[in-house]
Amino acid sequence: MTPLRLVYLALVIVGAILPWSYFYAWFSEHGWALGPMIDAWYVNHATSALVYDLTIAAVTLTVWAVVEAVRGNRWFLLVIPATFGIGVSCGLPLALFLKAKREA
């Protein structure tokens, strides 16, 4: 495995663990319902902007994953659940990790 792929893999792991440590803390404090968390995303303009920014990035990443899958890289479909189940912080490095494998 190349050093660049190792960096991407490390970012996949950090991008999965770090955000979820905060999500877990929030859910532990406020309960496991998604409604209150979604409400918290829109409490001010800054958080709303971040939600839209990440949503656009997630949709773009999904389009890229589908295009790559159609081109024959079926493993790229893993990017979609990583992005929407964990976050762009995991999905993007996973996409780069998979893309680096294909180009190597």
Beta strands in the chain (DSSP E): none
pTM of the model: 0.90
- Convert the pLDDT of each residue in 52-80 to its tens digit: 999 999 999 999 999 999 999 999 999 99
Neighbours of 102 (CB within 10 A): 12
Rounded Cα–Cα distance for residues 90 and 5 (Å): 14
- Three-state SS for 19? helix
Q: What pLDDT, on a 0 to 100 scale, did the predictor assign at position 102?
A: 63
Counting the structural domains of the chain, the total is: 1
Q: What pLDDT, on a 0 to 100 scale, did the predictor assign at position 101?
A: 77
Q: What pLDDT, on a 0 to 100 scale, did the predictor assign at position 94?
A: 98
**Could you tell me the two tokens for 69?**
């899958």
Residues of the chain with pLDDT under 70: 102-104
Range of the domain at 68: 3-103
Q: What pLDDT, on a 0 to 100 scale, did the predictor assign at position 60?
A: 98
